[in-house]
Amino acid sequence: MTREDIIKTINTFLIEELEIDENLIQEDALLKEKLGIDSLDFVDIVVIVDREFGIRIKNEEMKEIKTLGQFYNFIDNKLNNQ
Amino acid sequence: MSRRVVITGMGIYSCLGKNLDEVRQSLYEGKSGIGIDPLRSEYGYRSPLTGIVERPQLKGLLDRRARICLAEEGEYAYMATAEALRNAGIDLDYLAANEAGILYGNDSSAKAVIDSHETTLRTKDTTLLGSGAIFQSMNSTVTMNLATIFKLRGVNITVSAACASGSHAIGLGAMFIRQGLQEMVICGGCQETNYLSMSSFDGISAFSTRIDEPTKASRPFDRDRDGLVPSGGAATVILEEYEHAVKRGAHIICEVAGYGFSSNGANISQPSDHGSATAMMRAMQEAGVAARNIDYINAHATSTQQGDAFEALALSQLFADSHTPISSTKGMTGHECWMAGASEIVYSNLMMLNDFIAPNINFENPDEYSKNLNIINKTTEKKINIYLSNSFGFGGTNSALVIKKI
């Protein structure tokens, strides 16, 4: 999966499933402060990542990710290292 | 002078309709809401009969966080409560400025629990249950969700009392108001209808197997009844202290004049004529009415052999002389279980407001117990000023409510 595909998949579920305003979706957007993703949402993102990318991540790993760009990179690295 | 408790709003979401208007029409027409759920046969049920309740579409009504925390019965409860609040002229601004509580009947959230178990077995990772599972799985799922959605700040408790849960919730809500602890309490009952939720009930052969005639399967008090038909949805009433309602300019639907309760102290599944009669007498005593004053009885009768017989015995002891009109709306709805005690208040209020008695459909021939009762099996025009509503449950829990026009 290319980085562009990863970005598209992540943006789609953030907008459609987590109902985040499309205009806020930017690489430097802070997940908590800007996108309003809370600790319960992080749990749901773990579920969605498993479904969309076939990757099991830990909730603790997810909590370390601060920006949307870091989230794209995290998934990209996980997929490329598999 | 003691504080009086009135109902100023109501809402309903059931197999008879998705709102008050649809349900009033179904009640008047004596329409059955019973059908077949093929998943039940595949799963191993003896009977695939059930009330058919459509899941509401909540996208656009509630945000994602609220939606994913609601189990099926919570979705129904949200719909019924939103209608009840609209009916009472109460919005979120009112609830932000005034304290209201919630006491709601619910006694299972089986699908959420079973789904979580299956996901964990498959994935060996509890994080993959997602964040909504815990809030869907707990028995108090409905009150925790509705209190959050509607920003309630008063009493917040789920009432679990088997098939009398909804009725007890209303009775207890009335007690909170009468004692001066609350001015307004949202009360009701809800019931999930998914195939996972009722298998153990089917397992004790409690359900009708009249599969070739679904709309004739639920036949309370009839000689040829062969079991109940499970059903569900949700019903909500807004209870309010009388002077508070008057001051607010609310439309008062009726008064909750009496609440009676009892426990049989006997068998876990077998009802009792003594226990149910005690609850009825207590309700009438609190309301200050005699049997002859009751214009209509909405019976608990679920279409089981034993349950209907014992209720008929109790009703014969108290009401045979006054020839009081009786019907069980479960002929149309099936047994709405945890919800029934609340939905039957909404059904009876709709009858009272529209001057008719909804029929006990499928009552064709009495048995030795029901032969002395005045069971109404055709829609009957009648002014109702005072009615009694019965609800009984496993473990011998009994609840009766006396409701008065005001």
Q: What's the whole-number mean pLDDT along residues B49-62?
A: 97
Banded pLDDT at B309 (limits 50, 70, 90): very high
pLDDT for res A63? 82
Tokens encoding B228: 């109940």
- Mean of all residue pLDDT scores within chain B: 97
Report residue B320's pLDDT band, with 50, 70 and 90 as the boundaries: confident
Given a cut of 60, whether residue B80 has pLDDT beyond it is: yes
Q: Do B128 and A59 touch (CB under 8 A)?
A: no
Going by their DSSP bridges, the two strands B325-327 and B374-375 should be labelled as: parallel
CATH superfamily of B5-248: Thiolase/Chalcone synthase (3.40.47.10)
Q: Which of B115, B116, B131 to mutate to test the interface with A (most CBs of A within 10 A)?
A: B131
The answer to whether the CB atoms of B127 and A58 lie below 8 A apart is yes
For the segment B248-259, what is each residue's pLDDT rounded down to a tens digit?
999 999 999 999
* pTM (two decimals): 0.97
Residue B325: predicted pLDDT: 98
Number of domains composing chain A: 1
A82 touches chain B (CB under 8 A): no
Contact B64 A19 (CB under 8 A): yes
Give A-chain residues touching B132 at CB under 8 angstroms: 44
Confidence band of A80 (pLDDT split at 50, 70, 90): confident
User: What's A50's domain CATH number?
Assistant: 1.10.1200.10
B246 pLDDT band (50/70/90 cuts)?
very high
User: Does the pLDDT value for residue B1 go beyond 60?
Assistant: no
Segments making up each domain of chain B, as ranges: 5-248, 258-404
Give the tens place of pLDDT for each residue, B16-40.
999 999 999 999 999 999 999 999 9
Four-way CATH pick for B258-404: 3.40.47.10, 3.40.50.300, 3.90.1150.10, 3.40.50.880: 3.40.47.10
Asked if B131's CB is within 8 angstroms of A58's CB, the reply is: no
Say whether pLDDT at A81 is over 80.
Answer: no
Cβ contacts of B131 on chain A, cutoff 8 Å: 40-41, 43-44
A2 CA to chain B: closest CA distance, Å? Answer: 25
User: Which chain A positions have a beta carbon within 8 Å of B128's beta carbon?
Assistant: 46-47, 50
pLDDT at A44: 96
Complex ipTM tops 0.90: yes
Task: Summarize pLDDT for B205-226 with one digit per residue, the tens.
Answer: 999 999 999 999 999 999 999 9
Distance (Å) from the alpha carbon of B97 to chain A's nearest alpha carbon: 27
Please give the C-alpha separations between residue A61 and each of A46, A70, B10, B385, in angstroms, as whole numbers.
Answer: 10, 12, 47, 64
B64, A18: Cβ pair inside 8 Å? yes
Q: Count Cβ atoms within 10 A of the Cβ of residue B330 and give its class: 0-12 exposed, 13-18 middle, 19 or more buried.
A: buried
Question: What span, in angstroms and rounded, lies between the C-alpha atoms of B75 and B78?
Answer: 5
Amino acid at B156: N
Note whether A40 contacts B64, CB cutoff 8 Å: no
Is A44–B130 a contact, with Cβ atoms under 8 angstroms apart?
yes
In terms of residue numbers, what domain contains A16?
Answer: 3-81
pLDDT tens figures, B263-299: 999 999 988 889 999 999 999 999 999 999 999 999 9
Q: Do B130 and A56 touch (CB under 8 A)?
A: no
Chain B interface mutation, best of A16, A46, A47, highest count of B Cβ atoms under 10 Å: A47
Cα(B275)–Cα(B69) distance, integer angstroms: 38
For the segment B110-115, the average pLDDT, to the nearest whole number, is: 98
Nearest to A43 among B63, B64, B130 (CB): B130
Q: The tokens of B176 are what? A: 């909170």
User: B166 and B338 in contact (C-beta within 8 Å)?
Assistant: yes
- B353-402 pLDDT, tens digit each: 999 999 999 999 999 999 999 999 999 999 999 999 999 999 999 999 99
- Per the CB < 8 A criterion, the answer to whether B390 and B271 are in contact is no
Each residue's pLDDT tens digit, A40-71 = 999 999 999 999 999 999 988 888 899 999 99
Contact map slice: A 32-61 vs B, CB within 8 A: 40-41, 43-44, 46-47, 50, 56, 58-59
- Candidates B63, B68, B127; nearest CB to A46: B127
- Give me the pLDDT at residue B2, please: 86
> What pLDDT is stored for residue B270 in this prediction?
87
User: Active-site residue numbers of B?
Assistant: 163, 300, 335
pLDDT 10s digits, A8-38? 999 999 999 999 999 999 999 999 999 999 9
CB pairs under 8 A between A and B: 25
Asked if B141 and B190 count as a contact pair (C-beta separation under 8 A), the reply is no
B338 DSSP 8-state letter: G
With contact defined as beta carbons under 8 Å apart, do B352 and B237 qualify? no
DSSP run (H or E) holding B13 = strand B5-14
CB contact under 8 A, B131 and A19: no
Min Cα–Cα distance to chain A from B131, Å: 5
pLDDT digits (tens, 9 = 90+) for B118-130: 999 999 999 999 9
Same fold, B5-248 and B258-404: yes
Predicted local distance difference test score (pLDDT) of residue A82: 58
